[in-house]
């Protein structure tokens, strides 16, 4: 039998009388004192946020909670219609689609920034980095993550607002600067209007907060879980799912009947 690795987790542990989360006594130190968003920050960084970090992180997360009848919202509502006794599975189904197309772009934006600038305090020529990033994406015909928006044009209003909040709280550093330079370089190269969008702003500001890119998508996943519970509440009161299903099925098969 192969030599075994010892299992170890440091997120939470409990005795019959006490529960610890990330080293804090849940009852004595967290309940009634920490907000849900600050708890999320603690789970993602091992630290209770400062007042400034809290404002900035909560704004990032808030941006992603709710954006109307998105595919994930429709999925959650359709799933609830078939299994109303398993609300948790309806939220789960809705989360399954938060992949490369929608929420994934904020992970990709953060990755591009962090790979270009592994140490945000090291010397670096941001203009040259932006040129290289744009050229590499254009050369491979890859979309540049975090810029442009098909609906919110010319400017995605969330991006300047998030940058303003980051600036006011001391988190507008070189990742934000590089993200903006990427957008400018992309506009210069393509001749199109391609300002930083919400996912680009989130990717940049999450990098300023010290979050590794590999966990950035998680901010979107946890935020959307909150929004999807809101859709469950509305679907219970005013159902849409069956109507969408009936119309879609009738139209899609009308040529055969």
Least separation in angstroms between CB 128 and a second copy: 25
Please say which residue, 37 or 185, places its beta carbon nearer to a second copy.
37
Q: Per DSSP, what are the bridge partners of residue 20?
A: 13, 25
Least separation in angstroms between CB 76 and a second copy: 9
CA 218 – CA 227 distance, rounded (Å): 14
Please say which residue, 115 or 127, places its beta carbon nearer to a second copy.
115
Structure tokens given for 120? 């945000």
Please say which residue, 26 or 126, places its beta carbon nearer to a second copy.
26
Least separation in angstroms between CB 189 and a second copy: 24
Is residue 150 packed enough to be buried (19+ CB in 10 Å), middle (13-18) or exposed (0-12)? Answer: exposed
Least separation in angstroms between CB 106 and a second copy: 12
Please say which residue, 128 or 236, places its beta carbon nearer to a second copy.
236
Least separation in angstroms between CB 178 and a second copy: 22
Please say which residue, 86 or 128, places its beta carbon nearer to a second copy.
86
Is residue 85 packed enough to be buried (19+ CB in 10 Å), middle (13-18) or exposed (0-12)? Answer: exposed
- Alpha-helical (H) ranges within the chain are 36-45, 51-63, 71-82, 87-95, 104-116, 126-139, 158-168, 174-190, 198-208, 213-237, 241-253
């Amino acid at each position: 039998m192969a030599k075994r690795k010892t299992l170890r987790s440091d997120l939470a542990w409990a005795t019959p009388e006490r529960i610890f989360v990330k080293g804090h006594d849940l009852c004595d130190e967290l309940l009634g004192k920490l907000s849900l968003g600050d708890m999320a920050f603690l789970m993602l960084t091992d630290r209770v946020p400062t007042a400034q970090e809290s404002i900035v992180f909560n704004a990032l997360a808030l941006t992603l909670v709710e954006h109307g009848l998105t595919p994930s919202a429709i999925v959650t509502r359709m799933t609830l219609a078939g299994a109303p006794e398993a609300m948790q599975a309806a939220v789960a189904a809705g989360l399954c689609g938060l992949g490369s197309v929608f929420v994934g772009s904020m992970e990709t934006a953060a990755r591009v920034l962090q790979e270009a600038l592994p140490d945000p305090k090291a010397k670096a020529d941001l203009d040259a980095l932006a040129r290289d990033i744009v050229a590499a994406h254009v050369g491979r015909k890859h979309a540049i993550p975090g810029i442009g928006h098909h609906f919110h044009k010319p400017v995605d209003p969330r991006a300047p607002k998030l940058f303003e909040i980051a600036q006011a709280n001391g988190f507008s550093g070189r990742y934000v600067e590089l993200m903006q330079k990427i957008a400018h370089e992309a506009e210069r190269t393509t001749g199109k209007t391609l300002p930083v969008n919400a996912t680009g702003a989130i990717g940049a500001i999450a990098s300023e907060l010290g979050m590794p890119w590999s966990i950035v998508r998680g901010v979107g996943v946890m935020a959307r879980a909150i929004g999807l519970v809101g859709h469950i509440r509305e679907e219970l009161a005013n159902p849409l799912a069956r109507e969408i299903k009936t119309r879609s099925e009738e139209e899609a098969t009308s040529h055969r009947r």
